[in-house]
Structure 1
């Protein structure tokens, strides 16, 4: 009687699940969980900033408030307070009335006359006093205001953010096209250890020789910031991609093992 050959256990390639449960890929999964957690936290933070839970009431910017209640010297103006009507008092610095070009008033381009208002000891704010259609009118107003001397004044207007500094054209190096307290400060007098407000004040009433600046109430913004919501959605996608990356890497490793197993099996059969 012939003895049958010993049975050789049949070998099979690993399953995808078996590869994923290996220590190496469990470690990669743990790393992906950490990365996804960071992305999820960033998405939640972005989403929290997307909705204003305490928006300003309609008409809040039209209630005249003391300047010191809205912003302090050197501080940035809160976004919700842009265009807020305020009032303050001080003394004009006669040498610091300066013309700002490219100012549009009710669709007509012209000029603003700005000034340094000393509202406290060593503290000043830049004020846009009024608008003129021609440079000659603006220059005449500057001369009249300068000749009046250090006059005390009560000013009511809207507090507006600095428009930023712009390099003047080479043909007019002293020209200003933006209302920027930072740029005006470089031309003011008696500025040693001077505290200056970052925003400026657009006066409601213009002095003689100038027109009132057209400064309507700011539009009421939506309490929902859709850009932040879009960013939050992006972070959620990134978190999902971290898991997909782990799955794709593990699957690629499994497919390579299966391919190597089939090649080895084919060579053994041959």
Structure 2
């Protein structure tokens, strides 16, 4: 009854099924490995941030531009504090508050955005301690410019005077009359009693939406492999039924239906 499996037609079907299943399993395993890489990246982020704080701070110019290798690294810069802006709607320890962002005018002429700390409540200039006067040297973790709409960062449009929605050169250049570095620094210790702002990870790293997309694709590929197996068994069952009908002399009656399918 199963001699039809040795026909050229079924040899072709079997080879196609084996190749399709192998391809689906390979793609599913690859997507799963991508998910594992992102999980491992997130697990190592905290350890890297802790080790970065123990590293010797390097001059800002040596660490630019900011990328995955330099984000979170310790840098140092010297200059004088200038304009101060508040960054509202920032959470810390599950409490709503705002960042205190002060621009450090460096010897190079450009300004470095420095997050001096975090304060609870609504953004209010009256709550903010004055920035140190004279020449200062700051040390902190290097951060990449934020993108409005990314990770809950609000857009720039509609921000009140003295505030900014995102910490980025693109946003700040419209608020101050000089060039701004396309990076910012969060101090290792909050200035004047303010809470220290933690270091954020590099963009597109860690366990983000893409990681769960990889996990979803993994499931899809294995579902595809199961569907191929299901269709093979379904086709096999119909072929067996046709062979049984042939033995009973019903080939002429069933042949049209089989061909139509």
Q: TM-score, normalised by structure 1?
A: 0.60
Q: Higher relative contact order at CA 8 Å, sep ≥6: structure 1 or structure 2?
A: 1
RMSD: 4.8
Cα displacement string for residues 70-127 of structure 1 (whole angstroms, at most 9, x for unaligned residues): 9733423559x64x654321244x4x33233456788986655422223352543201
CA contact (8 A) 2:144 2:182 kept: no
Aligned residue number for residue 85 of structure 2 = 98
Distance 2:97 2:251 in 1: 91
Q: How many residues are matched?
A: 236
Aligned residue number for residue 231 of structure 2 = 249
Aligned residue number for residue 50 of structure 1 = 39
CA contact (8 A) 1:14 1:254 kept: no
Moved more, 181-190 or 133-142: 133-142
User: Which of 176, 183, 193 lines up with 1:198 in the alignment?
Assistant: 183
For structure 2, list consecutive stretches of 5 or more residues without a partner in the other structure.
149-153, 201-205, 254-261
For structure 1, list consecutive stretches of 5 or more residues without a partner in the other structure.
1-12
Aligned residue number for residue 241 of structure 2 = 259
Moved more, 36-45 or 157-166: 157-166
3-state DSSP of counterpart to 1:28: helix
CA contact (8 A) 1:91 1:152 kept: yes
Q: TM-score, normalised by structure 2?
A: 0.61
Provide closer, same or farther for how the CA distance between residues 178 and 136 of structure 1 changes in structure 2, counting only shifts above 3 A: closer
Say whether 1:116 aligns with 2:111.
no
Aligned residue number for residue 187 of structure 1 = 175
Matches within 5 A, 1:36-185: 36-51=25-40, 56=47, 59-63=50-54, 65-68=56-59, 72-76=63-67, 82=72, 86-92=75-81, 94=82, 96-102=83-89, 112-129=99-116, 135-137=124-126, 141=130, 151-160=134-143, 162=145, 164-165=147-148, 166-167=154-155, 173-174=160-161, 176=163, 178=165, 180-182=167-169, 183-185=171-173
Distance 2:37 2:23 in 1: 21
Distance 1:66 1:238 in 2: 46
